Amino acid sequence: MSTNSPDPIVAVLPAGNDFDVAAAEAIVKVLVTAIEDRGQCLIALSGGNTPRGAYRKLADLLTARAVDLDRVHLLFVDERMVPPDDPESNYRMVRSELIARVSPNLHVHRIRGEIEAHEAAGDYETELESLLRGFDGRCDLIVLGVGEDGHTASLFPGTDVVGERERRVGAVFVPRLASWRVTLTLPVLNRARTVLFLVSGERKTAIVGEIFAGDAPREDLPASLVHPESGTVTWMLDAEAASELPSEV
Ligand code: 6PG
């Protein structure tokens, strides 16, 4: 993977508990450091299945370490256009694994999946813009996943939102899923101080190998376009997802 940004850090961990604990520890570390350095923290979390266990561990760590969640703002990387109680809702997943298990002082900014996608994207853009003013325009941490087709967030290959360079939030129709999503865009992802990819399982082996084998970022592999100009990127992989990493990584 070759870009002008620093090389990503790659960490390979045993699947399951070790992976979840390492991911949760990495998130807490960024969060605590941001609070120490700047008095507050802005994080954006992805949905999907991979981070579920990590979010649960994160809730335990935040409580055990008495992190002051009044100083933490939680954003969503993307959302499906469903009500917040729908089993497909990313908000619902993060609420049950994390939000409901920690102090209610945490500031939660959800994407309104229950309304029309463009309207939800416009509302979130407005909310994000005012929030980012208090954070130097940058998220402290964005947690991302990767799909087997190379999508990250809801930046799916072949969709216009992958090329978005102005707006921070986009509405996107994903033909393969026959449904709309709302997603943060590359201008937000690539301004983050820290990006943490969480990827596990043998279904991800081929795409991880392809992303790391490439010489340059590729529009048809949106995850390869995430390279914050002045931030760090860590790929946390389990052994299966990492099994086709090129040997030089
Ligand atoms: C979502 C996402 C998406 C996800 C990947 C990986 O809402 O689904 O934010 O980008 O991170 O599709 O999903 P899994 O972890 O379920 O494989």
Q: At residue 55, what is the residue type?
A: Y
Does the beta carbon of 147 sit less than 6 angstroms from any atom of ligand 1? yes
Whether the per-residue pLDDT at 148 is higher than 80: the answer is: yes
Global pTM reads 0.97
Whether the per-residue pLDDT at 6 is higher than 80: the answer is: no
CA of 63 to the centre of ligand 1 (A): 26
Give tens-digit pLDDT for 42-64. Answer: 999 999 999 999 999 999 999 99
Mutate to test the pocket of ligand 1, among 20, 45, 49, 50 (most ligand atoms within 8 A of CB): 50
Give tens-digit pLDDT for 89-102. Answer: 999 999 999 999 99
CA of 67 to the centre of ligand 1 (A): 27
CA of 165 to the centre of ligand 1 (A): 22
In sequence order, the β-bridge partners of residue 172 are 181
Note the pLDDT of residue 214: 83
Give tens-digit pLDDT for 186-228. Answer: 999 999 999 999 999 999 999 999 999 987 899 999 999 999 9
Whether the per-residue pLDDT at 2 is higher than 60: the answer is: no
Mutate to test the pocket of ligand 1, among 146, 174, 188, 237 (most ligand atoms within 8 A of CB): 146
Note the pLDDT of residue 38: 97
